[in-house]
Every structure is written in C-alpha cells, then in structure tokens.
Homo-oligomer: A and B are copies of this chain.
Amino acid sequence: VGGLKERLITLTSHGLSVKVATNAWRLILERANEALSNLTDDQVLKEVSPGRNRVIYLWGHLTAVHDAMFPILGLGDRLHPELDAIFISSPDKVGAQLPPVGELRRYWDEVNGKLLSQFATLSENEWLQRHRSMSDEDYAKDPTRNRLAVLLSRTNHLSYHLGQITLALK
C-alpha cells in the first residue's frame, strides 16, 4: 500500500509539472494576444527600437515558429509553411511582401488555437518523450531534449519578443 500511495503521489506530481508548463505557455500567449490587440495598425508597422524589427515582422516570425511546433512535437503537418521564407529565412525590411495584418492575425489565432487543443491530447509521459527533430541516439544521450523542453524553449522565445513588441505600445 505504501508503494502504491507513493506511486500515485509521484504520478500526480508529474502531471503537475506538465500542467505548470502548459499554464505558463497559456499565460504568456494571453499577454501576447492582449498586447497585439491593443496595437493600432500604425503601431504594428513601427520598429520596436530605431533600426530594429517592426512589430509586424515579429508577429509573423512568432506565427511561423509556433506553426513549426506541429511537426517538431509530432502533432501533424504545419498549417502555414509558406511563412518561413518571409519571417524566418529573411530579415525584416528586405522587400518581401508581408501578408496584411488581418490575415496574419487569422493565421496567428488558427495556429495557437490548434496547438492548445493538440497539447491537451498528450499524456504526461508523451511530453517527456523525444521531439521529432532529434534521433533516438541523441535522445538516449540526453533525455532532457524532449517535448517539454521544446515547449519551455518556445515559451521563452515568445516572452523575449513580447518584451520587444510592448515597446511599440504607448
């Protein structure tokens, strides 16, 4: 009975750490949505600091990076792989035609909505499994390179650019 109780406590604790991590993702995403919805169309075209990226570029960049999480996490195909050429391979202001703000907002909501609903389908143990962009051999060498690590890394990436985007807010 002692063993069973211990096992149950551990299982609960483990589910808890995944829940803490998905809560953190959700919280930063909510803050990003709030910041982005409070920006005027003029502010969206502003550079976050003189000579630096414009908000619209960072927004597209985040959308492309989040969209790439589907295959990395083994959650299916990307919804908008065409964004990479504009927002990952190219820097801002090199003449690439950016999608209109309204369209970008739709992609952003679509990608993040689907990610959140897919996250809910993963069990705690599946979060600790290797992500798709690494081999079985590399995972054996370093088991911390798993889905949870990808989630924390992308949460930090979102926070990083959110800190920049808020500089364009009044």
Contact = CB atoms under 8 A, between A and B. Distances in A.
A146 B7 contact: no
A20 B163 CA distance: 23
A159 B153 CA distance: 10
A100 interface: no
Nearest to A24: B152
Contacts of A144: 16, 19-20, 23
Interface string A147-170: 011001101110111111001000
Contacts of A3: 3-4, 7
Interface stretch (A37-45, A46-54, A68-76, A112-120): A46-54
Taking chain A's interface residues, is the majority helix, strand, or loop, or is none over half, making it mixed?
Answer: helix
B10 A152 contact: no
Copies of the chain in the assembly: 2
A50 B50 CA distance: 8
Contacts of A48: 49, 167
A24 B162 contact: no
Interface of A: 3-4, 6-7, 9-11, 13-14, 16-21, 23-24, 28, 48-50, 52, 124-125, 127-128, 143-144, 146, 148-149, 152-153, 155-157, 159-164, 167
22 contacts: A10-B10, A13-B14, A16-B143, A16-B144, A16-B148, A17-B17, A17-B128, A17-B148, A19-B144, A20-B149, A24-B152, A24-B153, A48-B49, A49-B49, A49-B167, A50-B50, A159-B159, A159-B163, A160-B162, A161-B163, A163-B164, A167-B167
